[in-house]
Amino acid sequence: MKRILVPTDFSIQAENALKVAAQIAQKNGSEIYLEHSLNLPSHLNDVGQTGTLPESLYFIRLAEKEFEKIMDRPYLEDLDIYNAIGHGEIYEDVQQTVAEKNIDLIVMGSHGSSGFKEMFIGSNAEKVVRTSKIPVLVIKNEHPDFKINDFVFATDFSEECRRPFDHAQKFAKDVGAKIHLLYVNTPSGFKTSSEANAMMEQFVKGMGTENYTLNIYNDTSVEKGILGFAKEKNAQLVGMSTHGRKGISHFFNGSISEDLVNHANMPVITFKI
């Protein structure tokens, strides 16, 4: 994990993500790329048009001043930080930076006020998660000591999830976490314990998996099962693989009870299939 990208709008949530990225960078000797997307109106992006350049420069200068403030933060001391200003939609700027800088991980804050669904749907975080080809770690709260001991990785244990799981276990190793593979048994996709155990054992075979557990959790929906199991384990991180919008939507059908919603304040990391 040599290069971490942190998209920022200079909000408190974005700084919470930067603080987490800084802790990961310190532990792994990583570089941090901090990026702000201006997302200006189209007429301001066209600098060839008369009168637009001064207006564009105004917003660029404002962003540069915010960067100057951030770079003085004590928690960034002794880290290699690079900042950049993008001019498109946030997910477009992120995609470009990931490709150009060979980024390994995206860490970003979420403005979702409550719940698993609000963390993604209709938000910038959702757009980045949906389009990203690399892992995205979504942070909702401040974590002065970002220490992951127990990491729940929810999957259906299909062959296509092997690659995301490979990335997940590498991340777990980088942060020093035990990974708990989870199959949520629901009425619509019920498996007996012997069937589920055989499926899970076959999945991890040949994957070189270390420091892990295999788990079956029964619940009425996948999302309730993920959060319920994470709560029982007192996990600090939940991970899952996604197909983009289709994959994310799979986890958000139906409602989530209030006590589980409250537990969804933990960080969530996604891995693209």
- How many Cα atoms sit within 13 Å of 61 on the Cβ side? 6
pLDDT on residue 41: 58
For residue 37, the cross-strand partners are 86
| Chain segment 213-250, per-residue pLDDT in tens | 999 999 998 888 988 899 899 999 998 887 655 544 44
Least confident of 85-99, 103-117, 208-222: 103-117
Residues 6+ apart with CB under 8 A from 185: 191, 196, 216, 217, 218, 219, 225
Share of the chain above pLDDT 90, in %: 56
Distance CA 72, CA 23 (A): 16
* Nearest one of 7, 192, 154 to 92, comparing CA atoms: 7
Distances (CA, A) of 247 to 169, 171, 193, 226, 244: 20, 21, 25, 15, 5
pLDDT, averaged across the chain: 84
Helix (H, G, I), strand (E, B) or coil at 9: coil
pLDDT tens digits, one per residue of 13-62: 999 999 999 999 999 999 999 999 887 655 555 544 545 567 778 888 88
Q: Average pLDDT of 153-176?
A: 92
- All domains of the chain, ordered by start, with CATH? 3-139 (3.40.50.620), 150-272 (3.40.50.620)
In this prediction, residue 259 carries a pLDDT of 37
| pTM for this entry | 0.86
Q: CA-to-CA distance for 197 and 216, rounded, in angstroms? A: 8
**Contact in structure between 150 and 177 (CB atoms under 8 Å):** yes
Q: With 70 as the cut, is the pLDDT of residue 253 above it?
A: no
Q: In this structure, is the dihedral angle defined by the CA atoms of residues 242, 17, 15 and 133, taken in order, positive or negative?
A: negative
Helical residues (DSSP H) of the chain, grouped into ranges = 12-28, 42-45, 52-71, 90-101, 115-120, 124-131, 162-175, 193-204, 222-233, 245-250, 258-263
pLDDT for residue 52: 54
